[in-house]
Amino acid sequence: MFNDSTLDVFISKLSEYGVSKGTIRFQPEIPRPARFIS
8-25 pLDDT per residue, tens: 888 787 776 655 555 555
d(CA 21, CA 12): 14
d(CA 4, CA 24): 22
Cut 0.85: pTM above it: no
d(CA 15, CA 22): 10
Q: Does the pLDDT value for residue 30 go beyond 60? A: no
Q: How confident is the model at residue 38 (pLDDT cuts 50, 70, 90)?
A: very low
Count of other CB atoms within 10 angstroms of residue 11: 19
